[in-house]
Amino acid sequence: MADHYEVLGVSHDATPDEIKKAYRRLARELHPDVNPGAEASERFKEVTHAYDVLSDPRQREQYDLGGQGGFGGGQNFGGFGDIFETFFGAGQQSRGPRSRRERGQDALIRVEVGLDEVIFGTHRDIEVDTAVTCETCHGSCCQPGTSPVTCDICHGTGSIQRSVRSLLGNVMTSSPCGTCRGYGTVIATPCVTCQGQGRVRARRTVPVDIPAGVDTGVRLQMPGSGEAGPAGGPNGDLYLEIKVKNHEVFSRHGDDLLCTLEVSMTDAILGTTATIPALDGDVELELKAGLQSGEILTVKDRGVSRLRGTGRGDLKVGVQVITPTKLSSKERDLMHQFAASKKSPAPELSHFQQGIFARLRDRFLG
Q: What is the 3-state secondary structure (H, E, C) of the chain?
A: CCCHHHHHCCCCCCCHHHHHHHHHHHHHHHCCCCCCCHHHHHHHHHHHHHHHHHCCHHHHHHHHHHHHHCCCCCCCCCCHHHHHHHHCCCCHHHHCCCCCCCCCCCEEEEEEECCCHHHHCEEEEEEEEEEEECCCCCCCCECCCCCCEECCCCCCCCEEEEEEEECCEEEEEEEECCCCCCCCEECCCECCCCCCCCEEEEEEEEEEEECCCCCCCCEEEECCCCCCCHHHCCCCCEEEEEEECCCCCCEEECCEEEEEEEEEHHHHHHCEEEEEEECCEEEEEEECCCCCCCCEEEECCCCCECCCCCCECCEEEEEEEECCCCCCHHHHHHHHHHHHHHCCCCCCCCCCCCCHHHHHHHHHCC
Q: If pLDDT is split at 50, 70 and 90, which confidence band does 192 have? A: very high
What single-letter amino acid sits at 182? G
Alpha-carbon separation of residue 27 from 56, 76, 84, 189, 341 (angstroms): 18, 33, 42, 11, 104
Question: What's the confidence (pLDDT) of residue 98?
Answer: 87
Question: What's the confidence (pLDDT) of residue 239?
Answer: 93
pTM here?
A: 0.60
CATH of 91-148+187-246, one of 3.40.720.10, 2.40.30.200, 2.60.260.20, 2.40.160.10: 2.60.260.20
The architecture in CATH of the region 251-364 reads Sandwich (2.60)
Q: Residue 88: is its pLDDT beyond 70? A: no
Other residues' Cβ atoms within 10 Å of the Cβ of residue 136: 16
Higher pLDDT, 170 or 49: 49
Higher pLDDT, 336 or 120: 120
For 216-226, what is the mean pLDDT?
Answer: 91
For 330-347, what is the mean pLDDT?
Answer: 78
Q: Is the dihedral of CA 23, 54, 4, 18 positive or negative?
A: positive
Higher pLDDT, 64 or 260: 260
Residue list for the binding site: 134, 137, 151, 154, 177, 180, 191, 194
Residue list for the binding site for Zn(2+): 134, 137, 151, 154, 177, 180, 191, 194
CATH 2.60.260.20 in the chain: give the residue spans: 91-148+187-246, 251-364
